[in-house]
Copies of this chain bind each other. A is one copy, B any other.
Amino acid sequence: MNDLFEIEKIRVQFNETDALGIVWHGNYLKYFEAAREAFGRKYNMGYNTAKKNGFATPIVKSNVEHKLPLYFDEVFSVRAIYIPESAAKLKFRYEIRNEQNQLVCIGQTTQVFTDLSSGELSLVNPEFYDQWKLRYNV
């Protein structure tokens, strides 16, 4: 089994800071999304892949844990690591590290598959996802 992941480098924008002078905590979910979509482009499993196959992949669960703050203009890396699951879910965990390679933030998200037209939840893996899992042996 392979360990699938992708790393995205991001710079803190001024609009992402708050009156405490640090990145507002809710913005880390944007950073997670950027890395998850970078993963999606690398392995062909992002919002657009799902859409082409008639599915949306809404987030149903997320958690974030902050170890250190990020400041304006800092450059950091976000690693999105795919977590294999037997259920019809897309699960990722995330690691954010600053330029000193210190662990800044970790987190996790869970997505489900819903039919793009009916909105209905898919209880089993959509076929394109099963094929993807086979292809990457996860």
Contacts and interface: CB of A to CB of B under 8 A. Distances in A.
Contacts of A25: 29, 58-59, 62
A62 B64 contact: yes
A58 B68 CA distance: 10
Q: Which range holds the interface residue count of chain A? A: 35 or more
Nearest to A17: B19
Q: Which of A13, A62, A69 has the most CB of B within 10 A?
A: A62
Interface string A33-74: 110010000000011100000001011111111100101110
Interface of A: 13-15, 17-22, 24-27, 29-30, 33-34, 37, 46-48, 56, 58-66, 69, 71-73
